[in-house]
Structures are given as C-alpha cells and as structure tokens.
Structure 1
C-alpha cells in the first residue's frame, strides 16, 4: 500500500460496535427519558447530613430526573451557625430563600495540567445578603456561608453545573466541616425542625 505506516495502523484484531452503541443509545433515549422524573415531590428529595451542612437535594444526577446539566440543593444553616468551607472548579449560584447572612470568599490562583495546582490569594472578601438576593460564587473560590441571625435559620438554594464533573473536572475539596456535621445522625423532618429552632 502507498502509506508507509500501514504496518503499524493496520495492527489489531479487536472489534467493537462502539458507533452502533451510540446509535442504539440515541434511539432508546426517548423511552428511557419517559421513565425519568419531570416532577420531584418533597418526599422524593433526599436529606443529607453532609460535611458542607444540612442539605435537601432538589435535583441530582443520582435522582433519575430529566435534568442533564444542573444539580441543586437547599441548604439550611441553623441560627447563628455556618456552613462548611469548600472549593470547587465549577461556578455556583445561590438564591437566598429565607434569613440573612454573609459569605466569605477567597479567590485562588489555579493552574491545570495533569493535576490541579491552586494557591489561595491573601484577600478574603465578605458579601452580605438577605432573603431574595442571589449570591454568585466564582470558579475555584474558597467559600463559606454564615447565618447572621441568632434566632432564625438561613435557607439557600444552590445550583451548580455538573458538566464540569462529566468533563473530568470534579475538583471538589472540603476544607472545613459544618459545625452540625454528624455522620451518625439521620435527618428527618423532626430533626430538621430542631435545627430550624436552634435547639441542636
């Protein structure tokens, strides 16, 4: 043959229907999607006692919903308390449902090669907010939420793009745990009501 590299590229005997698998997946998708939830009821939204704090997952890729690109949870920060502190590569948007508080944000200098290299900048910025506000967290920013009210809970809706993770960029790091974090505690409506009242 005319190409000098033929002796190299023509090697191999393994066959696989990879393109056909893509066609089959595309053909089966409408039926598969019809089985996925477009409405999620409160009793279908799992609670989590997480290192970041008290979460109620609204949309998550493990919840069999039609949402392909976004994860969302409601976070409850008890009166006078704070969330955990973490950093992730994806940007985040939070809607303040109830209460008042503030965020501390610390930007990082980042280099992405085969590994992530990040270094926190010196400045820590404070952003105050109240119910009805939207809080933006830039990519790769160390951040933490604080409830500024000693008597009432702070409730936030967090949304984040899961495409970063699907692209191999799930650079999520927990730096500090929420004060309420107790992996042995199972969250129930009764337990959550105790946190809302500041009893726990």
Structure 2
C-alpha cells in the first residue's frame, strides 16, 4: 500500500453496523415520535420531594414526550422558606408564576484542562424578583431561591437545556438541601396543600 501508516490502520477484525444503526434510528424516528406524547395532563407530571425542594416535573427525558432538549419543572417554595442551594454547568431560566422573593448567586471561576475545576468567587449577589419576572441563572453559578413572603408560597417554572447532560457535562452539585427535604415523604396534591398552608 502507498500509505506508510497502513500497517497500523488496517489492523482489527471487529465489524459493527454503527452507521447502519444510526440510519435505522433516523428512519424509525417519525414512527417512534408519533407515539410520544405532545400533551401532558397534571396527573402525568410526577411530584418529587427533592434536595432542591418540592418539584412537579413538567418535561423530562423520562416522561416519553416529544421534547428532546429541555427539562422543566414547577417548584413550590412554602411561605418564608427557600430552595436548596446548587450549582450546574448549564444555564437556567425561571419564570415566577406567583409570589415574591430573591435569589443569591455566587459566580465561580472555572478551569477546564484534563480535569474540571471550579472555585467560588468571594462576592454573593442578591437579585429581587416577583410574579411575572424571569430569573436568569448563568452557567456554573451557585444559586438559591428565597421566598420573602411569610404568608404565601412561591411558584417558579424552571427550564434548563438537557443538551449539557447529553454532552457529558452534567455537572450538578447540591451544596445545601431545602428545609422541606425528607426522602421518606411521598408527595401528592393533599400533601402539597399542607405545605402551602404551613406557617
């Protein structure tokens, strides 16, 4: 052969239909997607007692919807309470459905070489918000949501791009749990109403 490296690249006897599988998956996508849900009813959206707080998942890759790139949940923060505190590489936006409060954000310096390293900056910034506002959380920012109303709950809708996780960048780290977090609690409508009446 004319190429000097041919002794190296012709080695190996394994065969695999990787391109054929990709093509087959693309061919079958319309039929597969036709069976995936475009509308979810409230009963299709699972509750979760999470370390981040009380969540109702609206869109998630485990819910078998047509949505390929976005995860979304509704978060309920009881009167005078707060969410957990966490950090993730993906940027996030939250729409404030009801209530008022504030966020604490702490930017991080990031270094990505053969390892991934982040270090919180000294400054913690406070951002006030109320119903109708959109909260933007930049990539790799430590953040936490606080309900400033001692009598009424806050409801937020969070949307985050799933593509980070699919690219192997699911850098999610929980730094503090929400006060309500109790892994033994099973959430349903009645239990959520109890949290809304608390205080």
Shorter-chain TM-score: which interval? over 0.9
Can you list the C-alpha shifts for 1:51-85, whole angstroms capped at 9, x where unaligned?
Answer: 00000000001100000110000000000000000
Which residue of structure 2 aligns with residue 60 of structure 1?
60
Can you list the C-alpha shifts for 1:25-44, whole angstroms capped at 9, x where unaligned?
Answer: 01100000001110010000
Can you list the C-alpha shifts for 1:113-170, whole angstroms capped at 9, x where unaligned?
Answer: 2322001001000001110000000000000000000000000000000000101110
Q: Is the counterpart of residue 85 in structure 1 residue 85 in structure 2?
A: yes
Which residue of structure 1 aligns with residue 136 of structure 2?
136
Counterpart mapping for 1:116-195 below 5 A: 116-195=116-195
Q: Cα RMSD (Å) of the superposition?
A: 0.7
Which residue of structure 2 aligns with residue 37 of structure 1?
37
Aligned to 2:87, what secondary structure does the other structure show?
Answer: strand
How far apart, CA to CA, are the structure 1 residues paired with 2:80 and 2:134?
20
Aligned to 2:140, what secondary structure does the other structure show?
Answer: coil
TM-score (norm: length of structure 1): 0.98
> Which one is further off, 119-128 or 108-117?
108-117
How far apart, CA to CA, are the structure 2 residues paired with 1:188 and 1:3?
67
Aligned residues: 199
Aligned to 1:186, what secondary structure does the other structure show?
Answer: coil
Shift of 1:16: 0.6
How far apart, CA to CA, are the structure 1 residues paired with 2:30 and 2:123?
49
Give 4+ residue runs of structure 1 displaced > 2 Å after superposition. none
Shift of 1:4: 1.2
